[in-house]
Structure 1
Amino acid sequence: MYWPETRRAKRTLFGGLALRQTAVYLMFLILSTNLVSGQLPKITPRTTKPAEAAAFTPSESADSQAEPGTWTSFLGNHRNGISDETDLNLDWNVHKPAVLWRVPLGGGYSSMVIAEGRLWTMATHLTNDFVVCFDARTGKKLWTTEAAPTYIDHQKQARGPRSTPTYHEGKLYCLLPAGDLLCLNAKSGEVLWKVNIFQISGAPRQEEQTLYYWGMSASPLIEGDLVILQPGGNNNNSVIAVNKDTGKLVWGVGNDPPGYGSPIVVDTLDQRQIIVPTGSSILSLNPEEGSLLWRIVWGNKYNCNCATPVWNDESLFISSAYGTGCMRFALFRQNEEIRPISQWKSLSLQNQFATSIIKDGYIYGPHGDLAAASYRCLDMQRGKIQWQTRRVGKCTQIAAEGHLICLTEQGALILAEANPTEYREKGNLTGLLSFKAWAHPALANRRLYLRDEKRLICLDLQEK
């Protein structure tokens, strides 16, 4: 929406103030908030050659093209964790979902994507990381493609891939922890092209910068003819775009270290925007040329922003752990520029590695990092806690048909209503997984897919 161009907007937002008073109030908001881009270092886009700039072709968003029964990207077709599936079994206390198949799988935190009756993920085995394809219905392994040497971070927290592949028009885009980016034929596993995003961008490898770094984790975003990635760098190479058909660098922008959350796309104020959580900020970029639209400072001493931003009702919600907290902010135009304005900021919800779900004006997600974690519901309008429980704790999650499907890091699967008045559990399944489960669930064709560091399982969620 535009501020404050109409009488209706003035009446709604400022209770009948005159236009001059409205302008004064807006200027007060801009000058008083820490989101003013003029207070932050200017980020200049990389100069692109005409042929490279022409590589961007605006198109419908990937989620608008997704077919029913698919889960084509990290956090699903809409990259917000919410499934469009219907006719699901959503009372596990009455009808416990059956395990349809269970297969061994190596280490890693990659989630799953599903299309064309197939499932793809990434895992480590011995000394290499692989892209793996299964028949989504039977669990039969169809192919494996060697992608890169096995990655392990300085602190030896975990081995193997972190990000999730992205499926787009018969191709699979896979980012490995050390920056290797592969484009594969999704049906056969053939490598169509491969580049290293550190080499093509000139960004330094983070292992050389700090001990507090855990590998490339942001999942690739397809936007038009571009693949959006985040190597992290201080010379207009923090965020880059490569051509999805060739892997050739198109543009680079920004001077921030990398984050771990994944980029998303929003369409608002007559402007398509790529929203990127870096290690120290949230960036908004014009996808056509890679120019900066706005930037806010956001992060912690570890540069560990892991949750993906969530777009909802003309505002963005962001959350990070380690004392950072969460914030909701709106976007508006001032002259020709888009500006972010904070609506509230709170320490009440701190997502460590999972992304919150927003449903019907309420926010649901895990809170906590190194100490005991809880699961909370916040009011979207004010950021106030509606309820909290220790029944769930640290988890990943998705949502479907007004319900939350939470996978704890211990491997328990919990079903609860997305209910703002109270925590109402509809099922708690234990023993499905037993090794650290940090990958988000995936849901397609009424089948729920889960993994830990040892195995991949498929559950039947068909309504009984």
Structure 2
Amino acid sequence: MRNRLTTLLFCVLFSLSALAQQPTQWRGENSEAKYPAPNLLASWPADGPEVLWHYDALGTGYSTPAFANSKIYCTGMEDEMGYLNIFDEKGNFEKKVQYGKEFEVSYPGARPTPTIVGDLVYISTGYGELVCLNWQTGKILWNKELGADFGAENIRFGFTESVVVDGEKVYFTPGGKEYNVVALNRMNGDLIWKSAGKGQLSAYCTPKLVKLPQRQLLVTHTGDQIIAVDTEDGKLLWNYPFPNQYNIHPNTPIFEDGALFFITGYGQGCVKLALNEDGSAITKVWSTEKMDNQMGGAEIVDGYVYASGHKSRGWFCFDYATGQEMWNSKEIGNGAIIMAADKFIIYSDRGELVLVNPNPEKLDIISATKVQYGTAQHWAHPVVHNGVLYVRHGKSLIAYKISA
């Protein structure tokens, strides 16, 4: 009996330890922004969901919060320096940790969302410094200068890529000619492999990991090419030309029903590419210039894809299988879309916060309000954690009650 109890206790402790070591991800699990929200409110009060708390001294930036270790982590810039702000889950500020110089030109502020793995935090700065630090002690364990170490050139609006961690590897896209995409040892920053990709500049995109039975792919959007590399050795598997006017592609691709969906702004639009069985080749399925989301992502639900445009103003719904346009509505400003349980939450560039039913027949608005705190652009993606909606607006982080 004692042996069985000891074994059970070991299994529980091992499971908790493994869970604590799971890396956080930009836009949540699989980077899909589909967040569980038990007891989600069917609608919001007339003046919007209750504000549980707000904090208005984050520093400037556009990054979203990350959640781990019963803490909230969110970056901001003060006096040109980047800081990791740390809160408990009730919104009580605990401390801030400096991690490097941040981007003070062309829309100043912290950009990438931090990636948390246990006590370690992985952050890239707008100026191209890749940092691993211990959030408990504030000690920087290792750092890489993307220019000096990987031949990278900074891009118009600064690096915005959030670090992808998988197992003992860190993946990043410096955009150098030789070191276009790299895999590093996450504990010491040593190079594991490099890929020349297509030798193009980084393009603001946080990559997507696609796990297939035969291999795992890292898929991202560089200057004017979509590329896929094998995560085992960095071998370039395929590329697909998909440029826009400024080669700005912040949206992480979506993998759904054996195909990859890419969406970008400035009139280029979106494309669906079917993967073959082992991920070594692609076939174009359909594309459109109408749904050209700039940086707010997309959602695929029950065979339909939803997103806003950029040059094409308004919100769209397309049949994911065929590319047929289902509807277009200009009722809400362009912006970011996420899911909470079975509902969409849209945060527009006009500061609108909207609860929406997925519906291929119309833009089915349930409730709407305006974000009242913060300043500057409404560009950060909302996040849902433990039934609470978090919206970052400039120097403010706001927590809304959206669950009963």
Q: Secondary structure at the match of 2:147?
A: helix
Distance 2:208 2:279 in 1: 20
Matched residue type, 1:349: M
Q: Is contact 1:143–1:188 with CA below 8 Å preserved after alignment?
A: no
Distance 1:459 1:301 in 2: 37
Pair 1:337–1:142, CA change in 2 (3 A): closer
Is 1:124 the equivalent of 2:64? no
Pair 1:374–1:311, CA change in 2 (3 A): same
Distance 2:139 2:400 in 1: 29
Q: Secondary structure at the match of 1:97?
A: coil
Equivalent in the alignment of 1:232: 175
Is 1:114 the equivalent of 2:67? yes
Pair 1:304–1:337, CA change in 2 (3 A): closer
Equivalent in the alignment of 1:411: 351
Cα displacement string for residues 199-245 of structure 1 (whole angstroms, at most 9, x for unaligned residues): 22122x235xxxxx1110111111221111111122x2111111100
Equivalent in the alignment of 1:30: none
Q: Is contact 1:366–1:376 with CA below 8 Å preserved after alignment?
A: yes
Matched residue type, 1:159: P
Equivalent in the alignment of 1:87: 39
Matched residue type, 1:141: F
Cα displacement string for residues 70-122 of structure 1 (whole angstroms, at most 9, x for unaligned residues): 99221112211111332211311579421011111221111111122211111
Equivalent in the alignment of 1:61: none
Q: Give 1 or 2 for the bigger CA radius of gyration.
A: 1
Is 1:159 the equivalent of 2:111? no
Distance 2:397 2:301 in 1: 28
Segment of structure 1 superposing worse, 222-231 or 88-97: 88-97
Pair 1:244–1:324, CA change in 2 (3 A): same
Q: Secondary structure at the match of 1:338?
A: coil
Distance 2:286 2:279 in 1: 22
Distance 2:139 2:398 in 1: 25
Equivalent in the alignment of 1:7: none
Equivalent in the alignment of 1:193: 142
Is 1:260 the equivalent of 2:204? yes
RMSD between superposed Cα atoms in Å? 2.0
Pair 1:142–1:340, CA change in 2 (3 A): same
What runs of 5+ residues in structure 2 fail to find an aligned partner? 1-17
Equivalent in the alignment of 1:441: 382
Q: Secondary structure at the match of 2:360?
A: coil
Distance 1:407 1:109 in 2: 13
Cα displacement string for residues 315-367 of structure 1 (whole angstroms, at most 9, x for unaligned residues): 1100111121111111115xx87210001111121010111111111111110
Matched residue type, 1:115: A
Distance 2:147 2:170 in 1: 15
Q: Is contact 1:66–1:77 with CA below 8 Å preserved after alignment?
A: no
Distance 1:243 1:258 in 2: 21
Q: Is contact 1:90–1:415 with CA below 8 Å preserved after alignment?
A: no
Matched residue type, 1:227: V
Pair 1:175–1:337, CA change in 2 (3 A): closer
Segment of structure 1 superposing worse, 339-348 or 381-390: 381-390
Q: Secondary structure at the match of 1:198?
A: helix
| Matched pairs, number | 382
Cα displacement string for residues 16-39 of structure 1 (whole angstroms, at most 9, x for unaligned residues): xxxxxxxxxxxxxxxxxxxxxxxx
Pair 1:191–1:350, CA change in 2 (3 A): same
Equivalent in the alignment of 2:245: 301
Equivalent in the alignment of 1:216: 159
Q: Is contact 2:68–2:118 with CA below 8 Å preserved after alignment?
A: no
Cα displacement string for residues 162-195 of structure 1 (whole angstroms, at most 9, x for unaligned residues): 1111122332111111111121224444322222
Equivalent in the alignment of 1:316: 260
- Which residue among 228, 245, 248 is the counterpart of 2:190? 248
Segment of structure 1 superposing worse, 437-446 or 248-257: 248-257
Matched residue type, 1:325: G
- Which residue among 274, 281, 290 is the counterpart of 1:348? 290
What TM-score, normalized to structure 2? 0.89
Pair 1:337–1:322, CA change in 2 (3 A): closer
Cα displacement string for residues 267-319 of structure 1 (whole angstroms, at most 9, x for unaligned residues): 22522111111121111111111111111111123111121100111111001
Is 1:202 the equivalent of 2:151? yes
Matched residue type, 2:102: T
What runs of 5+ residues in structure 1 fail to find an aligned partner? 1-64, 208-212
Equivalent in the alignment of 2:395: 454
Distance 1:431 1:319 in 2: 26
Superposition pairs for residues 289-438 of structure 1, below 5 Å? 289-333=233-277, 338-369=280-311, 373-433=313-373, 434-438=375-379
